[in-house]
Chains A and B, each alone.
Chain A
Amino acid sequence: MRFVLAFAIGMFLAILEASFMPYFQVLGVTPNLVLIFAASWAMVRGQDEAMVVIPMAGLLHDLTTSDPLGTSVLALAPILVLAAGVHLRAMDTDFVPTVLVVAVASLTYGIITMVVLSATGQRIPWFDGMVSAVVPSIVVNALFTPIVYLPIHWLGVRPTTRILGPGRITTAVTAKRS
């Protein structure tokens, strides 16, 4: 059921990104809602679910853009590693690490997309691409993170959350460390 929900949200965000969001560009770029969704899901719901949701989100993104099918699947893959890395740090909230993951993932996403497009014979101006598209997307995606993160956060807490001690609620990170 949760994957059906993830599919529905991912599809809606992919369509929204290609149709609605280009009217509201910030710094000349459209926020990558699917990337923010994949990163938020990986941070809130954990690695097991992220292993399914990240490729699914990438596929949905590719289906609504002109990129070769598989580009976004590949470009979103680092999110899993980034999310796992950030989880190793002790934090009482998922939000700040999610913003961090979104920002770094935007950079890796842009670079991998440019590599794939170049490999498939498309002319990609690397310097202009980095300056005009990739770097602004780091800021813009980070700014739009709350819009996608908060609904996912409200939809359900991470399965690994524990109650330790007399009524003390801790996050999963705290639970692992203790």
Chain B
Amino acid sequence: MRVIWWLLTVIAVSGTGILLSERRALDPVQNTTLRVAAPIEGSLRDIASPVNDVFDGITDRGELVRENQELKERIAELERQIAEQQDAQQRVAELEAALGVKQTRPEDSLLAANVIAEEPSGLKRSIAIDRGLSDGIDEGMVVLSGSGVLVGTISRAYQDFAWIRLITDPESAVNAQINLTAAQPQATTPSAPTPTPAPATTPAPTPSASPLPAATPPANEASAIRGVAAGDLKDGLVLDLLPSDVAIGEGSLVLSSGLGGNYPRGLLIGTVTDLEQRPQSPFTKAKVEPAASLSGLDTVLILISFVPARLSEP
């Protein structure tokens, strides 16, 4: 009998807590807890990261050597592409200025944040950062990795802390595209093409040159295949709703399309690793390897200059 009363009490109390939590009434409590826990969590992550690296180094040495060689080759290729793109960007900027075209991302203003925790339940893919409403961030803002690759969006913001929903979370969906002209099948390498590493912990002032990857928009709309990059618990990231007769190869770059207005156009999301075509299905699916290493992130950048459509709605 005592156990039944205890169970009823627990159900009532937890139900009330869940309701209050959904109405944001308990945010100050969670903010205070994170404030207490953040220094300890930061220290523990600092310890865990090198320990994990040691284990990985021991267990995956052969793979690391091979991957290192591949990455060196890829860096050489990317350096060549960057040189070409810098020239192309210059020409695009000159043409836009001459035609009076409104630039979608004239200057990206970024705010650096430290990752202090990860959602431990396997049912969600979220990380906590040490920036909150007091730092000018808001729910829905876009979050990038230190190298400027799309990581996710702010899903819950407290006064001093926030939770980020990663692009691999089942609730995440990003309008994406593959530029056929830029689709270059290659060995699957998850690393992102990164011009410069971002600052460590201090707020990043608006740079004159954007640190985001130089993902050039397609030359014309017909040369891009559009789909939705949705999070998946099993596969991580899946590019869905692609046309059934799509002809893309493994290694094609997946970028945000900007449709819907919740993400800026041209952010690198990942690379296609596997294509799943079914005869009866009207759409094709593709598995995508996120360009950012989403487990073990230490620092992220919040794109505060871009206002997502969901925030600008009245």
Contact = CB atoms under 8 A, between A and B. Distances in A.
User: Do A and B come from the same complex?
Assistant: yes
A24 B118 contact: no
B259 interface: no
Interface size class of B (residues with CB under 8 A): 35 or more
A132 B30 CA distance: 28
A133 interface: yes
A70 B21 contact: yes
Nearest to A28: B122
A130 to B, nearest CB: 10
Q: Is the interface of B mostly helix, strand, loop or mixed?
A: helix
A66 B296 contact: no
A129 B44 contact: no
A81 B8 CA distance: 13
A21 B295 CA distance: 11
A65 B49 CA distance: 20
A77 B123 CA distance: 19
Contacts of B40: 15, 19
A54 B11 CA distance: 13
B123 A64 contact: no
A131 interface: yes
Interface in A122-156: 122-125, 128-129, 131-134, 136-137
Interface stretch (A86-94, A110-118, A159-167): A110-118
Contact of B14 (A70, A81, A110): A70
A23 to B, nearest CB: 4
Contacts of A73: 10, 13-14, 17
A98 interface: no
A23 B122 contact: no
A10 interface: no
Contacts of A70: 13-18, 21
Which of B6, B44, B49, B123 has the most chain A CB within a 10 Å cutoff? Answer: B123
Contact of B170 (A11, A67, A124): A124
Contacts of B126: 66
B120 interface: yes
Contacts of A132: 122, 233-234
Interface string B98-137: 0000000000000000001111111110101000000000
5 contacts: A18-B120, A32-B121, A64-B117, A65-B119, A68-B18
Interface of B: 3, 6-7, 10-11, 13-18, 20-22, 26, 29-30, 33-34, 37, 40-42, 44-45, 47-49, 51-52, 55, 116-124, 126, 128, 155-156, 163, 170-171, 232-234, 295-296
Interface of A: 11, 15-25, 28-30, 32, 47, 51, 54-55, 58, 62-71, 73-74, 77, 80-81, 84, 110, 113-114, 116-117, 120, 122-125, 128-129, 131-134, 136-137
